[in-house]
Structure 1
Amino acid sequence: MTDGPRPLNLREVAEGLRSPHAPAAPAALAGAGGARSALLAPGRLRELATWLAGTRDTDVAGPLERARLVVLAGDHGVAAREVSVLAPDGTADAVRDLVAGTHPAAALAAAAGVELAVHAVGVRSAGPDGDRGAGGLPAAVTARAVRAGSGDVAREDAMSAEETAAAVRAGAAIADEAADEGVQLLLLGDVGVGATTVAATLVAACLRKSAVDVVGRGSGVDDDAWMRKTAAVRDAVRRARPVATRPGVLLQTVGSPDTAAAVGFLLRAAARRTPVVLDGVVGAAAALVAARGVPGAEKWWLAGARTAEPAQHLALERLKLAPVLDLGAGRGAGTGALAALGVLRAAQVLASADAADAAAAPVPEPEPEPEPEHESVPVADGQAAPGQPEGERTAG
């Protein structure tokens, strides 16, 4: 008889976590015409440059030579409630497009010189072989597969405790792999029909919000689908309330393999001192759950772009992560994070240029100190002045 599998402990995933380095405050730098550098003035670019430098243990970050977009894919049983405009097999199709390079996120990544890694951790079978939800997908994409889709969180658990732990550890292993290979910056994306419904449920459960507070239009649903989605989130949140303070059990109850993998990915990346740019509401929900399990890990994450999803706004507000961009809508799969990468790179380039100018600027010679002046002291008639011989008196 065995004691069964060891319970999931998110702190173990983030073992070794430390806060980012605190860069020294930049000094004022006069540019052409004596104007102070725009970057060194307080502003968003300086905030981004400082954050990036801190994650790289330096006062000024060097070039971002190696970035990787990691897309975690999964199907969700709640999608059967018609909460999305996407077809049931849309997740597998999106994964194929990403692998083939025809997905918009793949095109953006290629244009930005960003590596792309896709992991189908919970995709239903898309082919005749039924290989753990991996039909027709490359072996490298399905190597971290946990199960084929997840349960309908409105009425049943998303997965078992063992599957939840496996998904979290799969995400951690993906982050370890990137850190071992020298990736300097990670971008987290997601694809999955029904994913925003699961994300909204996780945020509502963590923040004690109602379904109407967190449910957005997701894939672009109409009013009828929005009401079905809201009802599904309401029922799922009721199931989640008793376990809302236990992140691992919360993921098992109303999460999914891909969101659980995102939690492990974020925590392990933070422990390995590798910064992550979040994409949309799914990444924000995973970050919220991860930070509840391991407070302080959020210092290693940056919100790429604000979408129209209210659950994302609430999660980022709680995490105190201000999005780099406000796009008003999201395409998913990491497109928002990729768009923000350009701004982050600009902040790094400008900060490096300012640091180089400051280092090259001549140090002004100190001005000579003025000679001390003797104070004149009034002398009364018949008295000797200070320092004057006693015999030499002033004339009366």
Structure 2
Amino acid sequence: MIGFESREAFSAALADLPEANKVAQAAAQLRQEDLTKPLGSLGRLEDIAIFMASWQGRERPVLERIRAAVFAGNHGVAARGVSAYPPEVTAQMVANFAAGGAAINALADACGAELVIVPIELERPTADFVEEPAMSEEDCLAALNAGASVVEEGLDLLFVGEMGIGNTTPAAALCAQVCNGTAAEWVGAGTGLDMDGIAHKQSVVAQALALHGAHCTDAFETLRRLGGREIAAMAGAILAARIKRIPVLLDGYIVCASIAPLVVDQPRFAAHCLAAHCSMEAAHARLLDWLGLAPLLQLGMRLGEGTGAAVATQLVRSAIAAHNGMATFAEAKVAGVA
């Protein structure tokens, strides 16, 4: 199992990332060129199949084992009224996940994913990052390792989700810090704030940036000062997946924000990721553009929990089915392109 013993170990892992398997990528590309269809006629489904082949290291990728991991954490800044819901909803929703009653339960089941729920010290919210760093170094490492621990050998695809009342506030702070721009450019309505609520949330994020901005010198420090336990856990899981060359479907704004500090330190970090969808959170499209990722879906979703990635997994299944199941021109005895 992958783990990070120190912040230095985390930074070292981020600095030395494995790349995709170029041999498998080339073989998958050649297969696409020989299938009984005009080249490019299946659009992004072709790209998805080649992407999956390159990270799985096989010409014909598979989806036999998919893991969906949902991390939950509470935030001290939620006490400032930055969400339309009270903080106790986090634990209540975790109980709903455990009982099988949430959207992610239904959608993970529909796409064939193993669902793992990881609540992280819900009884102990992070510190209010307007006043001090959200996490100590030890807390941030523990959260990163909680994420890495869900990434086992043998996974064909990973996607992560989150639950944490108020967590679009640290997500916006992370984006404003590492992607540049003002709090107003990165703060949205979250769970349904009105205009006054959004203005208040912008003020909270601006105060946090003023306090911590100059100290956010690397990915680890940015995550611990401006993030949260479930946010750091998602970053740890996605990093562990890269180390094991497991492809990742990114869900919404908060998941994408969790890796933004890692991309600053390692610009190629998101190479093993596909953007599942573009959510209704206003800044998500801007963040995807900054990451250089085009979303597979745009369905007006904004729930989180990994739900957008669960739906996009069905597209990955379709891409692989076509890639593996179609005949080549020679097999079908159809005349190909001269």
1:284 deviates by 0.3
1:88-167 to 2 correspondence within 5 Å?
88-124=87-123, 148-167=124-143
Aligned with 1:242 (options 214, 218, 236): 214
For residues 224 and 308 of structure 2, the distance between their equivalents in structure 1, rounded to whole angstroms, comes to 28
For residues 359 and 20 of structure 1, the distance between their equivalents in structure 2, rounded to whole angstroms, comes to 29
Aligned residue type for 1:282:
I
1:228 deviates by 1.2
2:14–2:262: 8 Å Cα contact kept in structure 1? Answer: no
Aligned residue type for 1:61:
P
For residues 343-396 of structure 1, the C-alpha deviation after alignment (integer angstroms, 9 at most, x for no partner) is 111111111123x334624498xxxxxxxxxxxxxxxxxxxxxxxxxxxxxxxx
Structure 1: 4+ residue segments shifted above 6 A: none
Aligned with 1:189 (options 138, 141, 161): 161
Aligned residue type for 1:299:
A
For residues 271 and 293 of structure 1, the distance between their equivalents in structure 2, rounded to whole angstroms, comes to 16
For residues 271-294 of structure 1, the C-alpha deviation after alignment (integer angstroms, 9 at most, x for no partner) is 011111111111101121222233
Are residue 79 (structure 1) and residue 50 (structure 2) matched? no
Secondary structure of 1:117's match?
Answer: strand
2:216–2:225: 8 Å Cα contact kept in structure 1? Answer: no
Match of 2:317 in 1: 345
For residues 35 and 57 of structure 2, the distance between their equivalents in structure 1, rounded to whole angstroms, comes to 26
1:10 deviates by 2.6
For residues 30 and 288 of structure 1, the distance between their equivalents in structure 2, rounded to whole angstroms, comes to 37
Match of 1:55 in 2: 55
For residues 69 and 317 of structure 2, the distance between their equivalents in structure 1, rounded to whole angstroms, comes to 19
TM-score (norm 2): 0.90
2:218–2:261: 8 Å Cα contact kept in structure 1? Answer: no
1:68–1:116: 8 Å Cα contact kept in structure 2? Answer: yes
Aligned residue type for 2:141:
A
Aligned residue type for 1:360:
E
Distance 1:349 1:6, change over 3 A: closer
For residues 165-207 of structure 1, the C-alpha deviation after alignment (integer angstroms, 9 at most, x for no partner) is 22212222222xx22xx22111110000011111010010001
For residues 330 and 201 of structure 1, the distance between their equivalents in structure 2, rounded to whole angstroms, comes to 19
For residues 259 and 330 of structure 2, the distance between their equivalents in structure 1, rounded to whole angstroms, comes to 38
Match of 2:328 in 1: 357
1:243 deviates by 2.6
For residues 363 and 231 of structure 1, the distance between their equivalents in structure 2, rounded to whole angstroms, comes to 64
Give the root-mean-square deviation of aligned CA atoms.
2.1
Structure 2 unaligned runs (5+)?
A: none
2:6–2:141: 8 Å Cα contact kept in structure 1? Answer: no
Greater helix fraction, Structure 1 or Structure 2: 2
Aligned with 1:296 (options 250, 261, 268): 268
1:366-381 to 2 correspondence within 5 Å?
none
2:277–2:312: 8 Å Cα contact kept in structure 1? Answer: yes
1:122–1:150: 8 Å Cα contact kept in structure 2? Answer: no
Secondary structure of 1:85's match?
Answer: coil
Match of 1:264 in 2: 236
For residues 239 and 35 of structure 2, the distance between their equivalents in structure 1, rounded to whole angstroms, comes to 41
Secondary structure of 2:280's match?
Answer: coil
1:240 deviates by 2.7
1:92 deviates by 0.4
For residues 18-51 of structure 1, the C-alpha deviation after alignment (integer angstroms, 9 at most, x for no partner) is 11123123354574xxxx347x437211111111
Structure 1 unaligned runs (5+)?
A: 125-147, 365-396
1:217 deviates by 1.0
For residues 142 and 235 of structure 2, the distance between their equivalents in structure 1, rounded to whole angstroms, comes to 12
1:16 deviates by 6.0
Secondary structure of 1:116's match?
Answer: strand
For residues 321 and 57 of structure 1, the distance between their equivalents in structure 2, rounded to whole angstroms, comes to 22
For residues 220 and 232 of structure 1, the distance between their equivalents in structure 2, rounded to whole angstroms, comes to 17
1:85 deviates by 1.2
Aligned with 1:307 (options 254, 266, 279): 279
The answer to which structure, 1 or 2, has the higher relative contact order (CA under 8 A, 6+ apart) is 2
